[in-house]
DNA sequence: GGTGTGTCATTTTTT
DNA sequence: ATGACACACC
């Protein structure tokens, strides 16, 4: 299909958004208004119609999944070499590539480590424990504080001078030490992936010129989710030329609590007076009734840009509101309804989604779904990366590319057993701290022999020789082969068997490790065409390992799980998805809006969350609530959510509100229906 | 592999 | 209060 043919398929607003390329462009894209089509078509338009080289274009998203999907769709439009060198990545991957290309200017050495939040926490724990034993809660608070400082582009010096109280003062001092230590470890954390490029581009005109030459056009997805640093990054890269398109929806801003600044939508108009604002209000997803409900609800929030969604999908069914006696009845109701509705509507399991505010709400529902043998997929859960064996393997990988990574060193120096215990490590750490060198480097120092018994020194040096040997083989030949060989050589598998409660568990864990290494290999062999880096042969292991830490690959296999199941999701996790039939559970005060949100006065964001939930539905929407619910072990009476009052009454069909019917009889009738259906199905 | 004990969190989570 | 999970032990 030609680009002209694609354009014709778009509505006038979408076309305008694609065609306007001479200056800053803000696309206010309502839910289901085809924003991804606009972004992908615009990329194709820039290349095919405007003759811009794909390697001058960068499209940025927030999640790997979104980036992957966008890449996929653009790939279908741009054939052959046309798309070569195009950047479609997350903000973090873009930042990583900038850092990788500017190592010298930033004062980092090749093979730097990327600390995930857990590594960061370990470092903080270390730093904070120096003064006194601190509890996990306090560490978490400081970690959160540091993260928001970085998101807000506040450097340690500023944090220190602006600290409003003792707690902030303390956090700022830890922040300063934390940054210093990261640098010493030749490591960066996730927030640095945005912060460091911004600081670099701000302070180094040459670097700025380099990157402005490199990137001529930027497209940003989910712009309402950008934080201060991310906005600054876009702003710095684009400069006066301001050739960019950002797409967002202030009504779907649900991440303010983690630093997102929806007001960046407004700031954009102030920073770029020439900004062209285009609204996409035609919705291609939902029925008129559902959209009317969404519009009415969200009109209770203040708006800078007003937006009213409409569609040509017909009015559809009324929105049902089901009041249940208690939470168990609610779960029962949702499960049994899915069962019957699937038959009635000839739907598949995958056509249903159940959305809720907090993960704990899924528990009861799971039981009911299991009871009816309804297949379901629960979002969230323990990730691949939090498994111990994966962390071990990752620590080995990181130590191989960055011997200064003390976190990695400490994790695996005695895994498998090398008889290097806490006493040895403590002395080693003291020695290293005094001299301000890494633990790995300290093992080699002769002076260490004075602090430690010969046997301990021997064990340590055997360990570093082992690692260096592997590193050597990696540099000389096939890096992946060297890594696999390392795993076998140290017999990590035997260690797993020793430590697992059952052989089958050890087996599975070892398989996970091999999977990780396979993924690493895949990632290395992948053409580096989709990155803005100046990838060379030598840094490909390094960058592949960083991508692994950023979870860039791997999830793929989880995503491939396209089996036919009912989806259980938090409303947050549902953003960007759509389902024919949606159930929204727990529409009660203190749950949605959440009690904490009411307390701190962020009900507007809760309303947007409900809005996101509602707009996931294509055909039918069912809202449920319970009159009573157990919370913290106590039975509580619940009030229906204020959001229910904010929906158009005429479009709602209430069930169980009056509750005149005998509860016993009603329940029996429900059970009969299920029993009847089951017998019908044999 | 199964059982018992302790710890943890009950607001959302990506990178 | 409750349950899920990790870890230790049988």
- Span A449-494, pLDDT tens digits: 777 888 888 889 899 999 999 999 999 988 899 999 999 998 888 8
Give the closest residue to A657 by CA, choosing from A639, A681, A670.
A639
Q: CB of residue A664 closer than 7 A to nucleic acid strand C?
A: no
Q: How confident is the model at residue A657 (pLDDT cuts 50, 70, 90)?
A: confident
Which of the listed CATH numbers 3.30.930.10, 3.30.2350.10, 1.10.486.10, 2.60.120.10 matches domain A385-525+539-556? Answer: 1.10.486.10
Residue A535's pLDDT is: 43
- Mean pLDDT, range A594-609, rounded to an integer: 92
Q: How confident is the model at residue A682 (pLDDT cuts 50, 70, 90)?
A: very low
Distance CA A340, CA A472 (A): 63
For residue A590, which nucleotide's C1' is closest to its Cα? B11
Q: Are A134 and A128 a contacting pair, CB within 8 Å?
A: yes
Residue A485's pLDDT is: 94
Least confident residue range of A32-36, A66-70, A137-141, A584-588 = A137-141
Q: CB of residue A363 closer than 7 A to nucleic acid strand C?
A: yes
pTM (predicted TM-score): 0.87
A510: its two tokens: 């070892």
Q: CB of residue A5 closer than 7 A to nucleic acid strand C?
A: no
Residue A132's pLDDT is: 66
Cβ neighbours of residue A182 closer than 8 Å, sequence gap 6 or more: A115, A123, A188, A189, A192
User: CA-to-C1' distance for A254 and B13, Å?
Assistant: 11
Q: CB of residue A363 closer than 7 A to nucleic acid strand B?
A: no
pLDDT tens string A407-461: 889 888 888 888 888 788 888 888 888 888 999 999 988 777 777 888 888 889 8
Residue A378's pLDDT is: 85
CA dihedral over A661, A665, A670, A676, signed as positive or negative: negative
pLDDT tens string A328-340: 999 999 999 999 9
pLDDT tens string A359-409: 889 988 988 898 888 988 888 766 677 788 888 898 999 999 999 998 889
- Mean pLDDT, range A147-153, rounded to an integer: 93
Interior/surface letters A542-568, b for 16+ CB within 10 angstroms, e for the rest: bbbbbbbbbbbbbbeeeeeeeeebbbb
Q: Which residues of A line the annotated binding site for ATP? A: 29-36, 285
For residue A89, which nucleotide's C1' is closest to its Cα? B15
Residue A673's pLDDT is: 53
Asked whether the predicted pLDDT for residue A149 surpasses 90, the reply is yes
Q: Are A362 and A326 a contacting pair, CB within 8 Å?
A: no
User: CA-to-C1' distance for A418 and B10, Å?
Assistant: 41
H or E element at residue A619? strand A617-631
Query: In angstroms, how far is the first alpha carbon of chain A from the final one?
Result: 49
Domain A3-100+194-280 has CATH 3.30.1360.30: no
User: CA-to-C1' distance for A586 and B8, Å?
Assistant: 24
Pick the more confident residue, A386 or A275.
A275
Q: What is the 3-state secondary structure (H, E, C) of A74-109?
A: HHHHCCHHHHCCCEEEEHHHHHHHHHHHCHHHHCCC
Residue A539's pLDDT is: 57
Residue A634's pLDDT is: 81
Which residues of A belong to the active site?
35-36, 221-222, 252, 616
Residue A273's pLDDT is: 93
A447: its two tokens: 């002076």
Q: CB of residue A382 closer than 7 A to nucleic acid strand B?
A: no
pLDDT tens string A287-318: 999 999 999 999 999 998 899 999 999 999 99
Q: CB of residue A547 closer than 7 A to nucleic acid strand B?
A: no
Number of separate helices (H) and strands (E) present in chain A = 33, 18
**Axis crossing angle, helix A663-681 with helix A327-344, rounded to the nearest 10:** 40
Q: Taking the C1' atom of C1, which residue's CA lies nearest?
A: A633
User: CA-to-C1' distance for A256 and B12, Å?
Assistant: 10
User: CA-to-C1' distance for A631 and C2, Å?
Assistant: 10
Residue A664's pLDDT is: 46
Distance CA A555, CA A567 (A): 17
Which nucleotides of strand C lie within 7 A of protein CB? 1-10
Residue A133's pLDDT is: 66
Q: CB of residue A360 closer than 7 A to nucleic acid strand C?
A: no
Cβ neighbours of residue A298 closer than 8 Å, sequence gap 6 or more: A251, A607, A608, A611
Distance CA A666, CA A329 (A): 11
Asked whether the predicted pLDDT for residue A232 surpasses 70, the reply is yes
Residue A351's pLDDT is: 95
Pick the more confident residue, A252 or A560.
A252
For residue A363, which nucleotide's C1' is closest to its Cα? C3
Average predicted confidence (pLDDT) for chain A: 87
Which nucleotides of strand B lie within 7 A of protein CB? 1-3, 8-15
Sequence ranges of the domains in chain A: 3-100+194-280, 113-185, 310-375+563-681, 385-525+539-556
- Mean pLDDT, range A45-51, rounded to an integer: 93
Q: CB of residue A206 closer than 7 A to nucleic acid strand C?
A: no
> Judging by beta carbons within 10 Å of its beta carbon (0-12, 13-18, 19+), is residue A437 exposed, middle or buried?
middle
User: CA-to-C1' distance for A390 and B3, Å?
Assistant: 27
* Dmax (CA) of chain A: 86
Q: CB of residue A509 closer than 7 A to nucleic acid strand B?
A: no
Distance CA A412, CA A391 (A): 9
Domains A3-100+194-280 and A310-375+563-681 share a fold: yes
**Axis crossing angle, helix A603-614 with helix A288-298, rounded to the nearest 10:** 170
Domain A113-185 sits in CATH at: 1.10.10.160
Q: Are A576 and A563 a contacting pair, CB within 8 Å?
A: no
Distance CA A377, CA A566 (A): 6
Backbone phi, psi, residue A244, to 5°: -150, 160
Q: Taking the C1' atom of C8, which residue's CA lies nearest?
A: A501
A599: its two tokens: 């307390």
A310-375+563-681: CATH topology is: Rossmann fold (3.40.50)
């Amino acid at each position: 299909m030609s680009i002209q043919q694609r354009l014709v398929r778009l509505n006038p607003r979408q076309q305008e958004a694609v065609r306007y390329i001479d200056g800053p462009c803000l696309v206010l894209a309502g839910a289901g208004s085809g924003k991804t089509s606009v972004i992908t078509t615009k990329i194709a338009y820039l290349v095919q119609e405007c003759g811009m080289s794909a390697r001058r274009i960068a499209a940025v998203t927030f999640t790997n999944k979104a980036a992957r999907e966008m890449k996929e769709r653009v790939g279908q439009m741009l054939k052959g070499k046309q798309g070569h060198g195009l950047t479609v990545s997350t903000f973090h991957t873009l930042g990583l590539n900038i850092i990788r290309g500017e190592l010298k200017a930033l004062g980092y050495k090749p093979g730097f480590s990327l600390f995930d939040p857990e590594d960061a926490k370990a470092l903080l724990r270390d730093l904070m424990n120096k003064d006194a034993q601190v509890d996990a809660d306090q560490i978490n608070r400081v970690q959160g504080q540091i993260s928001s400082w970085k998101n807000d582009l506040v450097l340690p010096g500023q944090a220190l001078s602006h600290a409003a109280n003792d707690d902030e003062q303390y956090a700022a001092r830890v922040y300063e030490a934390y940054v210093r230590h990261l640098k010493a470890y030749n490591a960066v954390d996730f927030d640095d992936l945005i912060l460091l490029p911004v600081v670099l581009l701000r302070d180094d005109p040459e670097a700025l010129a380099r990157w402005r030459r490199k990137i001529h056009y930027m497209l940003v997805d989910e712009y309402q989710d950008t934080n201060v640093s991310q906005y600054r990054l876009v702003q710095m890269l684009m400069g006066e030329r301001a050739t960019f398109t950002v797409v967002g929806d202030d009504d779907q801003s649900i991440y303010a609590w983690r630093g997102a600044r929806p007001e960046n939508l407004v700031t954009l108009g102030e920073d770029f007076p020439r900004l062209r604002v285009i609204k996409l209000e035609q919705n291609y997803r939902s029925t008129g009734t559902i959209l009317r409900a969404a519009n009415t609800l969200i009109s209770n929030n203040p708006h800078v840009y007003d937006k009213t969604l409409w569609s040509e999908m017909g009015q559809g069914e009324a929105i049902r509101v089901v009041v249940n006696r208690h939470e168990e009845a609610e779960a029962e109701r949702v499960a049994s309804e899915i069962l019957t509705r699937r038959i009635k509507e000839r739907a598949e399991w995958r056509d249903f989604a159940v959305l809720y505010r907090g993960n704990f709400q899924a528990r009861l529902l799971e039981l009911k779904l299991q009871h009816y043998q309804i297949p379901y997929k629960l979002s969230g859960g323990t990730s691949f990366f939090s498994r111990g064996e994966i962390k071990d393997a990752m620590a080995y990988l990181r130590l191989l590319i960055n011997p200064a990574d003390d976190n990695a060193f400490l994790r695996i120096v005695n895994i498998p057993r090398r008889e290097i215990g806490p006493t040895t490590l403590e002395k080693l750490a003291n020695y290293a701290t005094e001299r301000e060198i890494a633990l790995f480097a300290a093992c080699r120092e002769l002076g260490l022999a004075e602090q430690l018994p010969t046997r301990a020194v021997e064990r340590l040096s055997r360990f570093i020789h082992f690692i260096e040997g592997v590193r050597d083989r990696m540099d000389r030949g096939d890096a992946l082969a060297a890594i696999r060989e390392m795993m076998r050589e140290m017999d990590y598998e035997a260690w797993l068997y020793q430590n697992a409660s059952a052989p089958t568990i050890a087996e599975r864990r070892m398989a996970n490790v091999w999977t990780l290494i396979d993924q690493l290999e895949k990632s290395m062999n992948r053409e580096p065409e989709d990155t803005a880096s100046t990838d060379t042969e030598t840094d490909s292991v390094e960058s592949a390992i960083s991508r692994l830490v950023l979870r860039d690959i791997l999830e793929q296999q989880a995503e491939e799980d396209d089996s036919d199941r009912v989806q259980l999701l938090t409303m947050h996790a549902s953003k960007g998805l759509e389902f024919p039939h949606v159930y929204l559970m727990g529409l009660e005060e203190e749950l949605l809006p959440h009690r904490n949100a009411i307390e701190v006065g962020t009900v507007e964001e809760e309303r947007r969350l409900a809005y996101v939930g509602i707009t996931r539905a294509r055909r039918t929407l069912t809202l449920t609530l319970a009159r009573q619910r157990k919370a913290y072990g106590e039975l509580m009476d619940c009030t229906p959510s204020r959001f229910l009052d904010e929906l158009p009454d005429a479009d709602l069909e209430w069930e169980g509100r009056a509750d005149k019917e005998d509860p016993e009889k009603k329940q029996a009738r429900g059970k009969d229906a299920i029993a009847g259906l089951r017998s019908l199905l044999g």
